[in-house]
C-alpha cells in the first residue's frame, strides 16, 4: 500500500513528526510518500529514515516541492 503525507506549508518539526506518525501506522512493505516544501526537511527526512532503519526509495524535487518515498 502507498500512504501519502502532505506537509506542504509546514515547518520544523511538523514534517518529521508527520512522517513518523505515518511510519508508525504503516505495515511492513508499505511505501510512505511525503510531499513538502520545507528545505530543511528534505535533508532531515532521509536522516530520520536512516535512524529508523528504513529505506529511502526516491527523492524528487520540482519547483521547490519535494517528494520523498520511504519503504517500511
Is residue 19 within 8 A of residue 70, CB to CB? The reply is yes
Whole-number Å distance between alpha carbons of 56 and 8: 19
Site for other proteins in 1-60 (CB under 8 A): 9-14, 16-17, 19-21, 24, 47-48, 51-52
Whole-number Å distance between alpha carbons of 32 and 21: 11
Examine the residue annotation and report whether 48 is marked as an active-site residue of this protein: no
Residue 18 CB, shortest distance to other proteins, in Å, is 9
Catalytic residue numbers read: 12
| Contacting residues toward other proteins, per CB under 8 A | 9-14, 16-17, 19-21, 24, 47-48, 51-52
Amino acid at each position: 500500500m502507498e500512504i501519502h503525507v502532505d506537509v506542504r506549508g509546514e515547518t520544523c518539526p511538523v514534517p518529521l513528526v508527520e512522517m513518523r506518525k505515518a511510519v508508525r501506522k504503516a505495515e511492513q512493505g508499505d511505501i510512505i510518500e511525503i510531499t513538502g516544501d520545507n528545505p530543511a526537511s528534505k535533508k532531515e527526512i532521509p536522516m530520520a529514515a536512516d535512524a529508523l532503519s528504513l529505506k529511502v526509495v526516491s527523492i524528487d524535487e520540482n519547483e521547490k516541492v519535494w517528494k520523498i518515498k520511504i519503504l517500511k
